Structure 1
Amino acid sequence: MKISVIGCGYLGAVHASAMAELGHEVIGIDVDAAKIAHLAEGRPPFFEPGLPEVLTSAMASGRLRFSSDIADAAGSQVHFIAVGTPQKPGSYAADLTYVDGAIDSLLPYLNPGDLVVGKSTVPVGTAARLAAVVEASGSGASLAWNPEFLREGFAVHDTISPDRLVYGVPEGEAGKHAIGLLSRVYAAALVANTPLVVTDYATAELVKVAANAFLATKISFINAMAEIAEVSGADVTQLADAIGYDARIGRRFLNAGVGFGGGCLPKDIRAFTARAEELGRGESVAFLKEVDAINLRRRKRVIDLAVSTLGGSVYNKKVAVLGLSFKPHSDDVRDSPALDVAVQLRGLGADVMATDPQAIANSRARHPQLSYSTSIEETLTGADAVVLVTEWPAFKDIDPAWAKTLVRTATIIDGRNTLDAAAWRAAGWNYIALGRP
């Protein structure tokens, strides 16, 4: 099929490349000319494992190209909207400027029978509003909503082999037409018996934000238990193991630590809260404000531990920060707990040296006041305290005996509960973790 993907950021670049790899003819479009130039050269403008290989393969096949001209979308049968929906400045609500702009710019190039497919995460009610805009254009095109469920670090796999597909479609013949086109797009996944849910616009929109709200709640729940564990002497990791054996609960997303971040969970639960309040049902998701508060509180807890272990002040003390991205296998520092901890420590007067396998460039662009190093050895050398805040394999594999020879004071705060506490203590470290004795 001929497909256009409007927006070539984290979501769009992966989607365009994967669709071309699956055999479709794809044009990726973005107003950022520099981003398009990078992609056209086979160089993703961000780090995502597996994307360079799929991008190169798809472009070599001749099925994938990129453009900054929306007119190049003309002739495609399906148009995916994959632009960002960031949090509005000074508000919890989602900023739909880019979604609205993408639809408006696409309208003159739509043909009868075309399908516009939203993939961006939007507040419930957005799809119905945009469907009316598409219909009023007189183009003969229609709209569907097909939320994404990508995990950064596994986005290519999740696009080519999704764990489920959701189609939000209109009623009647337009809905049947949308189902037919989307099922041709995702033919490979459907042949592999990927679960498919066909529903209305509102449910499709809610699926994504509800899933993110649930995951955020699960993370903040175990972090709330970590707060209780700290004052009671319990071990939150053993607690998580024990309750995780319950099939109704499960162990995934029960890792206590510095909390969640990134470009999805924080903004999505806030936008969900804002939209519920607009609909007059703010009380239904009022608990999400506490979920958010618990999450932010964990960052402060890491900072408080650093201050405490350094005698009440971090001023002029060297603090080695291991990790900057919000999660491993990503260079994304949007709302990153790791970067936030580094910045706050610097604000308290600490001499912060931070390292990360992939996120240094993005971090330096946002916070040039920090000192960065690509070397773990340089980062650790002379440190008065070490703070691990992103669980990269390279950090988990550090030899504690070797690390002890580099630092000034052998104190480490494991903000992800990811290190072997016994091994680090046996090597002479003062090992401190969240929610553990």
Structure 2
Amino acid sequence: MSDSQRRAAAPDPLDFLAVDAELSDTERDIRDAVREFSTRELLPHVADWFEAGTLPDPRGLAKAFGDLGVLGMHLEGYGCGGSSAVAYGLACRELEAVDSGLRSFVSVQGSLAMAAIHKFGSEEQKNEWLPRMAAGDAIGCFGLTEPDSGSDPGSMRTRARRDGADWVLNGTKMWITNGSVADVAVVWAATDDGIRGFVVPTDTPGFSANVIHKKLSLRASITSELVLEDVRLPADAVMPASKGLGSPLSCLNEARYGIVWGVAGAARACYEASLDYAKTREQFGKPIGGFQLTQRKLADMVVDVNHASMTALRIGRLKDEGNCHHNHVSFGKFANVAAAQRVARTARGIHGANGITLEYPVMRHMVNLETVATYEGTEEIHALSIGQSVTGVSAFR
């Protein structure tokens, strides 16, 4: 058959550029396992969890995630899975296709709390916590952000001072996912020798966590304020390899990488819901998907969804090759969050009045993305990171 006689297959509406065709068999297996689990165990309940503004059984959820193998799945040893960066990204994508709060649960556990201990902790700290956290038998949180210290974490007020052989910590951390249900908190504090990280069991006297209520976004998630009042820790509570602000920022980069993939899942979910709705909702005697304005909206959504998927996969491949710079991750978060927000807003419009209800996922995703847009680096911060990368000039100070 000549080239002129060949006919390419029509694009798959749900994977227009066949991005997933680039995955290995192992990556597809992981994608399918997490998607099947999410569809069976999470999707039927997430609207109720969102409406209630909490996760009713976080320990059961942690154990289920541990059994699935997604907690710290990209870390090596200590009971962790040692998977590729792309495989971890695919897990994040499938979880956030259900809800950003669920991906955040896994991301905070694996890419923040566990990754910090894995990178900077002592062997004793790693052996004590990582196997239990990977199994979902212990929950961790990551205390960096403060009430007055968000985009500028170097201005933190939490301090750790030496008192004999001990450390004594005082301060407050804000917007901490899993804080009130955590067994261990990785807390960053200023010391006389710079910023250091501490492994803090949450039953230590002086440590308390207050749940933050009345959230309008990321409601299927537990968010807390951490309060440290003369929290006394032994000398070996400090993570020995944690030195300076670069340590917590490197952990944030791991979590941001998960966001690059996760928001691609949120965008995909909104697009798929809109495509189905446009094909079944009738007005003026035909499905609304038959009107030009709706088709233009769907076309814009397809482009954003596929661009986000390609960006995530490319950055994942760079990461697995050892060639992923933190500015690549800034590029991904900057581009993909904006794309997902556009898709979610458009999806809410296509659904009309139905779009504001929890019967459909679109407004839940839309408001969740408002949080994702500002945590772990706002749009402005990532824009400046990219700008510094291309110009060689820092605009931060």
TM-score band w.r.t. shorter chain: under 0.3
Which is bigger in relative contact order (C-alpha 8 A, separation at least 6)? Answer: 2
Greater percentage in helix: 2
Q: Which has the larger radius of gyration?
A: 1
